[in-house]
Amino acid sequence: MKSGVPKAGVLSSLYRNRGLVAVLVARDLKARYRGTFLGYLWSLLNPLLLLAVYTVVFTWVIPARVTSEVPFPLFLFAGLLPWGFVSGALLDAAVVLADNGPLLRKVVCPPEVFPAVTVFSHLVHHLLALPILLVAIAVAAGNGLVRFPWTVVLLPVVLFIWLVAVGGLALAVAALAVHFRDLKDLLHNLLNIFFFATPIIYPLEMIRVPILKRLIQANPATPLILLYRDVVLLGRLPSLAAWGWAAAVAAVFWLTGSWIFSRLRETIAETV
């Protein structure tokens, strides 16, 4: 059974169905917190508790040996926050088409809508958690530990680049996971590898082995993390090369992901 959707570019299809995407994102967010006492407040409490734990552990229990320009708990949190966005979106993308199999088989619904819903849902969670980081930076700035970064005004541009990159990856993961059921388990391991191969829990300048530093710099997630942290925490204005590097990575991810999805699109409804 074909999906019933006329062939079109993934991006144009998502634009035409933007209303459906918005409705499904709202449904997903409501379903995630349905039956909970605090509801959407968990999006604030979870990162707040996480930041509190990092502060206690790395300040008093296990003082961090990593040297950074800012307090290490803030440095770590500013890397983990965007990483949580990408890892959560990709892990959910690996099962989103299978979970919505009945809709794909019985309703004329573009399959690319569901990975997009997953990405936008996790983006909303990220935006809900972001004030915790910004308030923590403001408190640290009030105590003279950091300067509040004026570059935070560039955050929407950075998040757009992240959205393009994660969107492309989610499309590829969603389509491939339908045909290769082992991908979800493999993805857990790949994300763990990339987590430690990306300067999230350590600054890039800390790497002293030249070949290892070059490998970490070649990691496509590295420019995205560096761009985010420079703008949100360190107050550095990224160079044109840094912007271009991150944008190129995002464009490659999107073009590759949408190409893979387009190639497998007609067989998705038959396979889920």
Domain boundaries, the chain: 10-271
Q: What is the mean pLDDT of each run of 10 residues along the chain (272 residues)?
A: 51 92 90 62 69 73 70 89 94 92 78 95 92 92 92 97 97 94 90 92 89 94 96 95 97 96 86 70
Which pLDDT score, from 0 to 100, does residue 1 have? 40
Which pLDDT score, from 0 to 100, does residue 109 have? 81
Query: pTM, whole model, 2 decimals?
Result: 0.89
Which pLDDT score, from 0 to 100, does residue 2 have? 42
Cβ count near 216 (within 10 Å): 18
Which pLDDT score, from 0 to 100, does residue 245 have? 96
Which pLDDT score, from 0 to 100, does residue 63 have? 66
Which pLDDT score, from 0 to 100, does residue 215 have? 94
